């Protein structure tokens, strides 16, 4: 059994995206082998379990923080993702696949991730140092934010300052020191649209706490990458043709046909772009997966 974690943002469009993304997962993986965890990031609770359809295991979590009123744009996603990872760990899965709702599965993925995460000491697998196009990923923008994250006074929204507890600031500094001791490079991460976490990270409940990161202006994928490094775990790329991940921050890294021809399994993002609007892209991949032989 493996776990799939999907944070679901506010609004009906996110629920519609969830349905299609889970339909893509079901097309290539046995639903009886999936522990599904959904994080409902909406001010009014929604019936996401019904929207998700029939799964052997489906748990819906309420986000620990709301987007409105949080002291930065990232804290709600950090909190929901880490709380979801903790919930997944209680089920003792082989691994966890985290998907945003604008990601899709376009080929079998579980066996690829089992193999990638089987190496001792690997905590995360995804689009790491390079994207599938071969472009080197740049993390330099995060160094200043991470250095500030260890201070008791951090920037707030607008031109304000926000005071944090000395305990939270100290926890962040300790985690950064631990990560640095394991060779951490400032901002290193697996790109957040989709990545996989292995049991060696999921079982580190001493690391998986979101509270110290509230208001630090550090994104969810950067926080998770730092936590893996703080635990002495490594990150790995899985972006070559035939590997798991073909993802980019805003748009698809290649035209849809090429993504399928090169044998990738997880793609991101299918939002409106030069390759088509989201409706068209989802319809294209839906037609291809339902025309594919049963797995």
- pLDDT grade for 68, boundaries at 50, 70 and 90: low
6, containing H or E segment: strand 2-8
Burial 78-108 (b: 16+ CB within 10 A, else e): bbbbbbbbebbbeeebbbbbbbbbbbbbbbe
Please check the confidence at residue 172 and state whether its pLDDT lies above 70.
yes
65 or 211, which is more confident: 211
Q: What confidence score (pLDDT) does residue 43 get?
A: 86
Nearest CA-CA partner of 42 in 8, 83, 6, 90: 8
pLDDT for res 149: 95
Tokens (6 digits) for 175: 């985690």
Q: Compute the chain's Rg from CA coordinates.
A: 18
Q: For the ranges 67-81, 161-175, 191-205, 229-243, which has the lowest average pLDDT?
A: 67-81
29 Cβ contact partners less than 8 Å away, ≥ 6 residues apart: 105, 108, 109, 110, 295
- Cβ atoms of residues 149 and 158 within 8 Å: no
Q: Which domains does the chain have, with CATH numbers?
A: 2-291 (3.90.550.10)
Integer Cα distance of 233 and 207 in angstroms: 12
pLDDT the model gives residue 69: 66
Residue-level length of the chain:
295
Whether the predicted pLDDT of 295 surpasses 60: no
CA angle (125 as vertex; 121, 128 as ends), nearest 5:
110
Which helix or strand (DSSP H or E) is residue 157 part of? Answer: none
Q: What is the pLDDT of residues 21-40, one digit of tens each?
A: 999 999 999 999 999 999 99
Tokens at 156, concatenated: 């707030």
The proportion of the chain whose per-residue pLDDT surpasses 90, expressed as a percent, equals 88
User: Which pLDDT score is estimated for 157?
Assistant: 78
Angstrom distance (rounded) from CA 105 to CA 108:
8
Of residues 291 and 66, more confidence is placed in: 291
Q: What is the pLDDT of residue 292?
A: 59
Give the C-alpha separation, 268 to 288, whole Å: 17
State the average pLDDT over residues 133-156.
Answer: 93
| Cβ(79)–Cβ(209) below 8 Å | no
User: How far, CA to CA in Å, does 241 sit from each of 262, 263, 265, 267?
Assistant: 5, 6, 10, 12
Number of H helices, E strands in the chain: 10, 12
């Amino acid at each position: 059994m493996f776990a799939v974690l999907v944070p679901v943002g506010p609004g009906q469009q996110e629920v519609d995206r969830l349905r299609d993304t889970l339909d893509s997962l079901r097309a290539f993986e046995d639903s009886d082998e999936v522990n599904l965890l959904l994080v409902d990031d909406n001010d009014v609770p929604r019936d996401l379990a019904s929207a998700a359809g029939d799964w052997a295991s489906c748990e819906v979590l309420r986000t620990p923080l709301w987007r409105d009123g949080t002291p930065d744009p990232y804290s709600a996603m950090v909190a929901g993702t880490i709380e979801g990872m903790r919930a997944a760990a209680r089920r003792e899965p082989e691994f966890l696949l985290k998907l945003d709702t604008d990601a899709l599965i376009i080929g079998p993925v579980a066996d690829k991730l089992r193999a990638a995460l089987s190496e001792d000491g690997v905590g995360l697998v995804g689009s790491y140092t390079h994207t599938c196009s071969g472009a080197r990923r740049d993390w330099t923008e995060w160094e200043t934010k991470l250095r500030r994250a260890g201070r008791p006074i951090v920037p707030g929204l607008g031109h304000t300052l926000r005071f944090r507890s000395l305990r939270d600031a100290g926890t962040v500094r300790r985690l950064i020191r631990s990560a640095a001791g394991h060779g951490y490079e400032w901002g290193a991460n697996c790109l957040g649209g989709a990545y996989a976490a292995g049991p060696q990270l999921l079982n580190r409940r001493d690391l998986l706490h979101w509270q110290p990161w509230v208001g630090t202006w550090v994104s969810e994928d950067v926080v998770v990458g730092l936590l893996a490094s703080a635990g002495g775990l490594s990150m790995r790329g899985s972006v070559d043709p035939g590997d798991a991940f073909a993802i980019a921050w805003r748009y698809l890294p290649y035209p849809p046909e090429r993504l399928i021809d090169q044998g990738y399994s997880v793609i991101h993002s299918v939002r409106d772009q030069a390759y088509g609007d989201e409706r068209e892209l989802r319809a294209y991949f839906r037609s291809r997966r339902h025309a594919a032989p049963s797995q």
